[in-house]
Amino acid sequence: MTLDDALEALRAATVPGRAEGSAKYHKVDRTYLGTPNPAINDLTRDWRRSLDLDERLELANSLWASNIHEARVAAAKLLAQARIRPDDQVWALIASWVPEFDAWAIADHACSAGSKRLIADPSRLDEVEIWTHSEHMWTRRAALVITLPWTKQNFPRDQDLEIRDRVLGWAASYVPDRDWFIQKAIAWWVRDLSKHDPDRSRAFLEAHGDDLKAFARKEAGKYLR
């Protein structure tokens, strides 16, 4: 499977008029093909089945380097698999994309793939913590988005609770940042956590809620009573 083959498949699944709408919606200057996510899901599922890991890594790298919106989404989806062994190269590739994040949709798809590699090896959180000090807003945001799986466990282990507290510490350090995307990411993390660990979410808001932007404070406490 070459890059040209993959791009041809993505173009064959485009929807008329969608590319123009995507460009206006995402507001980032790059090529948009107009391929909907369900079609990208189907294509990348087939590619995962037919390619070995080295071939998938090569294709994902090429898709990302093309800087086409749907190709970057496909690159992330190509690596979004829970069980990959060995996975060091997969994590390294996803992490190498983070400094290039410039739009939420691509960043979120890449973080979804990356979160599976964190779950497989939580020691990688040490690298993610470095992101929290980046001057690049999207890198700082990624530290919260990529750790979202730790908001969702109903029966967390002690290690998971420690990770929750660790990430909440990162979120607390972000509170003075008035960027909308950062405030939204804080709210997203605390809101999702509140469904499974309301005490921690409530404690975070008691300590920091008054310093959040109003919309973020409201969103973070959406499910708390």
Domain 147-225 has CATH 3.30.750.24: no
Segment 14-63, tens digit of pLDDT: 999 999 999 999 999 999 999 999 999 999 999 999 999 999 999 999 99
Residues 183-187: contacts with CB within 8 Å, 24+ apart?
183/212, 183/213, 183/215, 183/216, 184/216, 184/219, 185/141, 185/144, 185/145, 186/144, 186/212, 186/216, 186/220, 187/212, 187/215, 187/216, 187/217, 187/219, 187/220
CATH 1.25.10.90 domain range(s) in the chain: 1-121
CATH 1.25.40.290 domain range(s) in the chain: 147-225
pLDDT of residue 208: 98
Confidence of residue 4 (pLDDT cuts 50, 70, 90): very high
pLDDT of residue 115: 98
Q: What is the largest distance, in Å, between two alpha-carbon atoms of the chain?
A: 53
pLDDT at 68 over 90: yes
**What is the pLDDT averaged over residues 67-71?**
98
pLDDT of residue 45: 97
Pick one of 1.25.10.90, 3.30.70.330, 3.30.2130.10, 3.10.20.740 as the CATH number of 1-121: 1.25.10.90
Segment 185-209, tens digit of pLDDT: 999 999 999 999 999 999 999 999 9
Segment 153-192, tens digit of pLDDT: 999 999 999 999 999 999 999 999 999 999 999 999 999 9
Segment 101-154, tens digit of pLDDT: 999 999 999 999 999 999 999 999 999 999 999 999 999 999 999 999 999 999
Spatial contact of 106 and 73, defined as CB atoms under 8 Å apart: yes
pLDDT of residue 225: 82
pTM, two decimal places: 0.96
